[in-house]
C-alpha cells in the first residue's frame, strides 16, 4: 500500500530549526510492527500516525525505538498537516490518544495546542543525577515522566555535556534541565531521554507540560516565552489554563510525498 507522508520542523518559525517530525495519515492503524518499521525508516525523533474519526483524528506516536505516551511536537505537526493540507480552511482539530484528548487551533502566530499539566515534587536526593549531568543543579524536582534539574542561569544549561550512558541508568525516563532565560526568553531548557532512544531532543512539547506549572509558580506569571537550547533550538509561548498547558508556536513544512508500506 501507499500512504502520504509529511515532514515538518515543529516549534519554530524558521526552516532547519525546531524538532523534525513525520506525519503519516492512514485509513486505519496498521500492525504495531509495521508502524515501528516506518518510524525506524524515517529515523526522526518522532513519527505520528493519524486516522480520521468523525470530525477529528486518532493519533499514535513512535520514536525509532518505541511507541510513546505523548509527543507534543509531532501533535503540533499533525495539526499543521490537517489544517494546512488535508482540510485547509479548518481552524481547529481534535486528537484522541492513549493520553487523552488534545485540541489544536490555528493562530496568527502559528498553532495553539492544549496538553495536560504535569505537576512535580521537589526531591531531597537525586542519586546519580549530578554525576550524569557533569554539574550540580541547585534544586531537583521530579514526576513519573522526568526529573527536572534547575540551574541558576542559562549559561549553565547551554554548556552542559552530560553522559548519555549515565543518564540511561538513572531511575527517571527522561531528564529536563532548565534555568531562567536569556536573549529575550523567560526560561531555557534542554531535554535528554536516552532510555527512549533520544540522546537529546531538539524541542520537547511534553517537557513543557512539566516546566509550565513549575515556572508559572516561580515567576508569578500565567504566560512565559520558552526556548529549548538544543543544537537546532526551538521556541514557544507557554501558559496555564485551568489544569491544561497551552503551547503556542509554528511549524514549517519540509517534505511532502508518498511512502510504500
For the chain, 261 residues long, give each residue's pLDDT as a single digit of tens. Answer: 999 999 999 999 999 999 999 999 999 999 999 999 999 999 999 999 999 999 999 999 999 989 999 999 999 999 999 999 999 999 999 999 998 899 999 998 899 999 999 999 999 999 999 999 999 999 999 999 999 999 999 999 999 999 999 999 999 999 999 999 999 999 999 999 999 888 999 999 999 999 999 999 999 999 999 999 999 999 999 999 998 999 999 999 999 999 999
Question: In 3D, which of 112, 84, 85, 115 has the Cα closest to residue 97?
Answer: 115
Q: Classify residue 229 by its DSSP letter.
A: -
Q: What is the pTM of this model?
A: 0.92
Indicate the domain borders of the chain. 2-115+247-260, 121-242
Task: Please give the class, per CATH, of domain 121-242.
Answer: alpha beta
DSSP characters for 5-74?
EEEEEES-SSTT-SEEEEEEEESS---HHHHHHHHHHHTSSEEEEEEEETTEEEEEEE-SS-EES--HHH
The pLDDT value recorded for residue 119 is 95
The pLDDT value recorded for residue 198 is 87
Q: Classify residue 220 by its DSSP letter.
A: T
pLDDT digits (tens, 9 = 90+) for 168-197: 999 999 999 999 999 999 999 999 999 988
Look-up: residue for cell 513512535? 62
The pLDDT value recorded for residue 99 is 87
DSSP characters for 86-119?
ISTT--EEEEEETTEEEEEEEETTEEEEEEE---
Task: Please give the class, per CATH, of domain 2-115+247-260.
Answer: alpha beta
Task: Please report, for residues 68, 176, 245, the alpha-carbon distance to residue 173 in angstroms, rounded to integers and kept in the order given.
Answer: 11, 10, 21
| 238 Cβ contact partners less than 8 Å away, ≥ 6 residues apart | 208, 211, 212, 215, 216, 223, 224, 225, 226, 245, 246, 247, 248
Rg, the chain, Cα only: 18
The pLDDT value recorded for residue 196 is 85
| Residue pair 228/11 in contact by the 8 Å Cβ criterion | yes
| 260 Cβ contact partners less than 8 Å away, ≥ 6 residues apart | 1, 2
* Burial profile 155-166: b = 16 or more Cβ within 10 angstroms, e = fewer: ebbeebebeeee
The pLDDT value recorded for residue 156 is 98
Amino acid at each position: 500500500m501507499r500512504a502520504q507522508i509529511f515532514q515538518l520542523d515543529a516549534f519554530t518559525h524558521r526552516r532547519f530549526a525546531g524538532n523534525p517530525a513525520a506525519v503519516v495519515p492512514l485509513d486505519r492503524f496498521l500492525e504495531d510492527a509495521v508502524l515501528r518499521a516506518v518510524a525506524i525508516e524515517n529515523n526522526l525523533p518522532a513519527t505520528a500516525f493519524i486516522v480520521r474519526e468523525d470530525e477529528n483524528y486518532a493519533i499514535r506516536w513512535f520514536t525509532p525505538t518505541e511507541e510513546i505516551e505523548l509527543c507534543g511536537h509531532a501533535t503540533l505537526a499533525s495539526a499543521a498537516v490537517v489544517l494546512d493540507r488535508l482540510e485547509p480552511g479548518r481552524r481547529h482539530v481534535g486528537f484522541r490518544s492513549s493520553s487523552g484528548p488534545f485540541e489544536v487551533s490555528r493562530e496568527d502566530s502559528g498553532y495553539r495546542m492544549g496538553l495536560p499539566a504535569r505537576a512535580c515534587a521537589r526531591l531531597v536526593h537525586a542519586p546519580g543525577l549530578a554525576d550524569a549531568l557533569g554539574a550540580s543543579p541547585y534544586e531537583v524536582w521530579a514526576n513519573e515522566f522526568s526529573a527536572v534539574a534547575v540551574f541558576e542561569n542559562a549559561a549553565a544549561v547551554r554548556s552542559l555535556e552530560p553522559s548519555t550512558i549515565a543518564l540511561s541508568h538513572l531511575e527517571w525516563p527522561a531528564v529536563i534541565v532548565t534555568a531562567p532565560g536569556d536573549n529575550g526568553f523567560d526560561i531555557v531548557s534542554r531535554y535528554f531521554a536516552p532510555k527512549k532512544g533520544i540522546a537529546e531532543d531538539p524541542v520537547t512539547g511534553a517537557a513543557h507540560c512539566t516546566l509550565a506549572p513549575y515556572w508559572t509558580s516561580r515567576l508569578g506569571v500565567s504566560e512565559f516565552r520558552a526556548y529549548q537550547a538544543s543544537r537546532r533550538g526551538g521556541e514557544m509561548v507557554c501558559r496555564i489554563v485551568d489544569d491544561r498547558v497551552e503551547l503556542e508556536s509554528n511549524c514549517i513544512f519540509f517534505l511532502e510525498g508518498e511512502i510504500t508500506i
